[in-house]
Chain A
């Protein structure tokens, strides 16, 4: 039995019919066609599915879709500016070699985005704390931390 869900997604009102047992990730990828958010594990253990709900980074793979009701959700697709330009974080990732295979990148960037929204000048330790829930197998995190640092200081 489907139920209606209304929420704000990437700056727009969305009304959609959902099955209560769906996760937010399933809704985003399979129904709304937003494939940028990835499923890495399905258990909230890798962060590839990170999106921002009401300003907080969450694992959408274990987020019950019904709890999105009335909330403001931002996915990686929502970071582009109106004219299609990259968000400073996205640009920093590109410029600092923080992207290799790219599968962890959307989730990583969303966590970084949530971090910077709360703390616009984080120390290196605070950055690592902020992305502690995002696994990356390719980069060893070093260039990711550099990218976030540079985006924070506006360099």
Chain B
């Protein structure tokens, strides 16, 4: 067993001071579901753990910001998150297990910076900004610039992630996160895709076509003549690169254009080409690339469905 001391500072300043005192040979811990595992695997051997759990400032939660210590479970139960930050809500519902979600924090999941981190892609498409506190003061970093590599973030030595600020997203914006797994709980994604779409109108004639078991492209073709325009779009992909990334070229193909099945299909192909998946124990590269193509389309449809049928929860026949 690694031997370490355990501190529970009550403020960010105290935490920063403790970290400085240990000259960086300490580690921050929030929910602990990642850190405790790393300790057991002997991948981490700090002289001290500095717990962030008792710092009130890290727990804020309102429409515009989420504190780093907010647990996944709290976000799961949040109605605003469900409606307006659907992609993030999808992610927290599918992450780990109830036991994990009860203690694991949003900040922890992001700072652990696994390429498979479920909450990363949603925060990327929701245009979140990371709020950081450090020895040199406060700063903000766009999520796009936050992930550097596997396990590496833009946090500098000693810095603490305070939380995330989010833009207000209206009725004509919908988002979704699809986590492609081998089993339905306690799994890491083979591929994770998040999409956020803003459209020109929230009313479709054939809205009920959005549920059903047809493939995404078929569903999209059903409202081809409704002139639904994609005003803005974000696509993020996980587990297909050393860090969670945006598919910016794919986004460029869709933004400002009328939504068509062919258009979305072409964009999903582009997204796949922007990815660089590898073979690993958890999945094969060719399959990951194929899933990007499929899941970008499905996440797109799901996002639109959320705009057009905001209160519908059930897809009884749908495979996906």
Residues of chain A touching chain B, judged by Cβ–Cβ distance below 8 Å, are 1, 3, 19-21, 23, 42-45, 47, 50, 56-59, 62-64, 66-67, 69, 111, 114-115, 129-130, 132-134
Max count, chain A CB within 10 A of own CB: residue among B2, B37, B49, B99: B99
Complex interface: chain A residues within 8 A of B141 (CB): none
Compute how far the CA of A62 lies from the CA of B96 in the bound complex, rounded to whole angstroms: 14
* Contact present for B36 and A21 (CB under 8 Å): no
Known: A56-B102, A133-B99. A20 touches B5 (CB 8 A): yes
Given A43-B40, A62-B32, A64-B49, verify A57-B6 contact (CB < 8 Å). no
Whether A111 touches B99, Cβ cut-off 8 Å, given contacts A43-B37, A66-B51, is yes
Interface 0/1 of B184-212, CB less than 8 Å to A: 11100000000000000000000000000
Q: Which residues of B contact A59 (CB under 8 A)?
A: 33, 99-100
A132 vs B76: C-alpha distance in the bound complex, in angstroms?
15
| Contact of B98 (CB < 8 Å), options: A63, A67, A69, A111 | A111
**Cβ contact of A21, chosen from B2, B32, B103, B185, cutoff 8 A:** B2
* Cβ A50 vs Cβ B99 within 8 A: yes
Indicate if the CB atoms of A44 and B33 lie closer than 8 Å. yes
Instruction: Check B6 against A23 for contact (C-beta < 8 Å).
Output: no
- The answer to whether A64 and B5 touch across the interface, beta carbons within 8 angstroms, is no
A-B contacts counted at CB < 8 A amount to 79
- How many residues of chain B have a CB within 8 Å of chain A? 28
B99→A44 contact, CB < 8 A: yes
Q: Which residues of A contact B184 (CB under 8 A)?
A: 132
Check if B97 sits within 8 Å of A47, measured CB to CB: yes
Report 28 cross-chain contacts, Cβ distance below 8 Å, ordered by A residue.
Answer: A1-B5, A21-B2, A21-B6, A21-B39, A42-B40, A43-B37, A43-B40, A44-B33, A44-B36, A44-B37, A45-B186, A56-B73, A56-B102, A59-B33, A59-B99, A62-B36, A63-B32, A63-B36, A64-B32, A64-B49, A66-B8, A66-B51, A115-B98, A132-B184, A132-B186, A133-B96, A133-B98, A133-B186
CB neighbours of A134 from chain B (8 A): 97
List of B residues within 8 angstroms of A3 by Cβ: 6
Are the C-beta atoms of A64 and B98 separated by less than 8 Å?
Answer: no
Identity of the chain A residue whose Cβ is nearest the Cβ of B101 in the assembled complex: A133
Closest to A60 in B: B99
Query: In the bound complex, do residue B99 and residue A66 qualify as a contact, i.e. CB atoms below 8 Å apart?
Result: no
Known A-B contacts A21-B1, A63-B103, A64-B29; A133 and B97 likewise in contact (beta carbons under 8 Å): yes
Judge whether B37 and A62 touch: CB under 8 Å. yes
* Residue B318 lies at the interface, judged by CB distance under 8 Å to chain A: no
B79 vs chain A, min Cβ distance (A)? 16
Residue of A nearest to B102 (CB): A56
Q: Is the CB of B73 within 8 A of A21?
A: no
Question: Looking at the complex, which one of A1, A19, A58 makes contact with B99 (CB distance below 8 Å)?
Answer: A58
Instruction: Kindly provide the distance from the CB of B15 to the nearest chain A CB, expressed in whole angstroms.
Output: 15
Q: In B53-98, which residues have CB < 8 Å from any A CB?
A: 53, 73, 96-98
Assess the A20–B6 pair: CB atoms within 8 A. Answer: yes
Neighbouring A residues of B8 by C-beta, 8 Å: 66, 69
Binary interface profile of B, 19-54, with partner A (CB < 8 Å = 1, else 0)? 000000000010011001101100000000101010
Contact A130 B98 (CB under 8 A): yes
- CB neighbours of B287 from chain A (8 A): none
Chain B residues, Cβ within 8 Å of A56: 73, 102-103
Q: Are B32 and A57 in contact (CB under 8 A)?
A: no
Interface check B139, CB cutoff 8 A: no
Given A20-B5, A63-B32, A58:B97 Cβ within 8 A: no
Looking at A50, A132, A134, the one whose CB has the most chain B CB atoms below 10 A away is A132
Q: What's the minimum C-beta distance from B148 to chain A, rounded to whole angstroms?
A: 26
